[in-house]
Structure 1
Amino acid sequence: MRALRPLRALRGRTDVAPLREGAGVVERRTSLRGRAYALVIAVVLAPVAVIFGARQLDELEAGRMLADARRAAEAARGAVEASRGAPPAALASIEEAAAREGARVRVLDGGGRVLADRDGEPAASLRDRAGDLFFGPEGAPTLRDHDEAAAPLPERAEVRRALERGRDEGCSGALGGKLLVCHAALRFDAGDGPGVVLAQRGSPRAIRALYDVRYPLLKLSLYALLSGLALCALLVRRVVRPIEALRDEVLSRAEAPLSGEAITARAPREIGDLAAAFNALFAAIAEQGRSNHAFMVDLVHELKSPVAAVRAAADAMRGGGDLPAARAERLGRALHDSSQRLDALVTQFLELARAEAGLPGEERAEVDVGALVQGLARALREDPRHASLRVDAEVAEARVRCVPGRLESAIQNVLDNAASFAGEGGAVRARVRAQVRVQRGACEIEVTDTGPGIPAEDLPRVFDRFFTRRSSGRGTGLGLALARAIVEAHGGTLEAASPPGEGACFTIRLPLVSHGVHTQPTDDSPGV
């Protein structure tokens, strides 16, 4: 009951907070409701954040482009001045500077006549091609588009300021903010008067165009945010509330999970499926509880008889005096038989528990199941208890990886069970086959007998603990349960079938390591 207090403390909480194992401390985590609101806010405000973030990136890019334009202009002016105002002689140096800096460089004389024009803008980069998606069918704007829309070169403000001040540089948006243009204009002295070297760099900016409408966009985002939060609240109410109600109902069953009616399925459908899953879990717990209770009843019943015999013998021996030899022999035999039965019960029960745990820590090796079954069939034929029993074995080489002693015990239990029910003059047939499938191979061991078969009502209980239809005093009812647990611990299956009017058939399937193709049929009939 003390362990349930943290669970009861969770009732009424709105956040999802699973218990930390073994610590008794609740870890606080973000609730589904909080995550939903955070997601709406992030989605609505993401475009605004991208625009303002792109503005910062544009400023960094503008500084780099301006530096490129400045270097191109200074290199071109140096080449023109070195050629003493004769640009044709400096064309090679101007073209080299334009290509190196990725800029468009033009040289104008004092009258505004263009003496040289070299375009060194690089081909579109991957970033530019990705940005083309934002510009529609017209494509991304270029520096040439800007020049066609702008005033003639002599009339431009940057050229006039360079003639007046000697230098002018800067960056500005063009073509509605879709193109960022950086320029550097430098004055030089030519023979017939001052001239200007103009170097420009351009870069398309789709998001930069949105920056100009950032305030209307921010207002629209706020309206969308309010609408999104309202919609989110509605969705949270429809999703989280049923989960919380389901949580409370499950926790209310913590003290007595097997009592009460089934948990009510709720809308939406997924919550109803979750409620059905909890109902299936409670049903499995109830079935396991009933199985454990029946097991304990059977165990007590099995232990009661030998314990009572031991106690009766002990009481008789405590009476004092000399016991007659015949009585002493009967008491000794009773003690021996009862202790042997108790030892068999305890041993098989411990082996069953270990097998159901998967046989941990036991060494495994490759074993030829065909040879193993052949040896067990020979031993069964030579057993004096089954002198009149006919034993047939048809085996093929089939190698599996297993705990040899455990697998031998499982097959032995199945064979002993078949021999017990085949009866006097009956027959047992064991067959081993190696089946190769598309993805993996399987070893199949089939054991059939000519006994009365298994009634249909008993077939589902054949592998239950302590279930047996043998005559009184023979067997503990743990053999087949132990065999199945061992087979499943090796990744296999053990199934039982009993067609009407025929004997029983038990089939063991195990994963193969390798397989053979030869078959060795034998007829081990007793020579009587």
Structure 2
Amino acid sequence: MLAIVLVMAVASLSFTAEWLGQRRHDQQEVERLQTHARGLAVLASRSFRGGDFQPEALDELLHDSAAQLGVSYEVHRVRGDGELEVLASVGVHAGFEALPTPATELGSRVDDELLDRYQLLLIDEPIPTRDSQRVNLRMIAEHSPWASRHDWRETLIVAGGVGLLLLVLGGLLLELQVLRPMRALELAVARVAKGELDVEAPTDGPAELAELALAFNNMITALREHQSTLASQGERLQRSERLAAIGRLAAGVAHEVGNPLAAIVGYTELLLDEPALADDDRDLLERVQAQTQRIQAIVGQLLDYSKPAKKQTVAFSAVARAQEVVSLLRADPRCGGVALEVAGDPELEALADPGLVEQILINLVLNGARAAAEGEADEPRVRIRVRELGTELAIDVRDNGKGVPDDVRPRLFEPFFTTRGPGQGTGLGLAVSQGLAESMDGSLEHLDSADPGAVFRLRVPAQGPTR
């Protein structure tokens, strides 16, 4: 459709311009001939002075003019009986049988009856005389055409060439400015329809398509954010469901197992207080006591995970709290041989529960110390770094162990998931820590790092302004 419109527009403009040029040429040609005929009629009036007709002077005048312009002339006089009398006839068309008879009523007129057939124009002009004679001058001129058939054919060729050029340029412009951006936008829409949201439509092209692509990109960004929010809410919902299930389980275990365990621990302590107890029996009872206390610790972890944490929100120095945790754990056998460090500005204050933050840091430092001790570094080390991130404080716990395998990362914070061997852990430490962080309007996450080891980041609200 665009090609047809372009070609028809160019052809129409070309032929319209040609037609208007021809009309203007014909009009100017007639005006030029009329002006010449009018002047010649005035000069011819000299041949009729005093009522005497001077044919020699008239013939000489007409011959000179006919030779100069290439036209023919006839001079007619109306006799008293109303008939026309030819006084002079000069030129190749004078006396031509197809010429119509001049009107007896004198006046300026243009006759184009012979134009289509013989290409002749007849221009009548009255010759002014001083007596009552009525004399008419007729000019017979061949019409000079504006354009021949060859000219029209050339015009058609030029119009077609220009139309074809405009068609090619218009097609390229349409391809670059409209079709290509639309195909890119269509491809982006198709990818979104397949569920891909990491799509961005190009915003080049006309302003309308650019605005449409920008609106599409904004929509995709909003969809990604909405999907991320839904995924986060889904994870929290699943965690809440697991929490509820573990809570019910923990309540039942605490009720059914807690009392018998307390009795076993009590009886074991009574037996260990006997002074006459044999060494082998004492060793067995101490093992029973240790395993029973381990069962009580597991039940306690279940209860900690299932019940909501009681928190108090105060402003405190995060660096000072981290230093207290490090001082406490340096004497812990599980951190033996591992260097514990704290870095950060002591004036940075967190707005959270210091007890819960301390509990999270103890769990993270113990995990990092174990990973660093089992790694291949010459100097096992766990480093706590506190820094400000906008309206939050980021507390990073980094070790130089082997790091977290890629296949393990998605399940790090799942309850009961652990990479330790049997009897070395319940897999509730990180899950409990994450729940405690979220209860303080914070978060706990594992960060990717190019350096060896693992990095866990605890985010808590900052006391602003912090400086």
User: Which is higher, the Rg of structure 1 or of structure 2?
Assistant: 2
TM-score normalised to the size of structure 2?
0.40
Q: TM-score, normalised by structure 1?
A: 0.36
